Amino acid sequence: MNNFEKMQLCYTDVLDTACDLSAMLNAENDVNAFGDILDALDKTSIILKRLGDTVLIERVEQKEGGEKE
């Protein structure tokens, strides 16, 4: 498994976590717990953004380096 495939798996796992947090947020009635879940979801979305940027940069570097897909 190469780095690109590992990053794809990581992105999928973090995306699944974000979906789970969203479902928890939808079902939550306690304001304090709502805030905690929202904070975790915010951090998760930042991680997703960074992973996506990393994957994009990796793909561009591979193409510029002449590697085949």
Which residue, among 62, 64, 19, has the nearest Cα to 44 in the 3D structure?
19
> Can you give the residue ranges of every domain in the chain?
3-63
- Predicted TM-score (pTM) of the model is 0.75
User: pLDDT confidence of 35, banded at 50, 70, 90?
Assistant: very high
Any idea which residue has 């979906």 for tokens?
19
pLDDT in tens, 37-68: 999 999 999 999 998 888 777 777 777 776 55
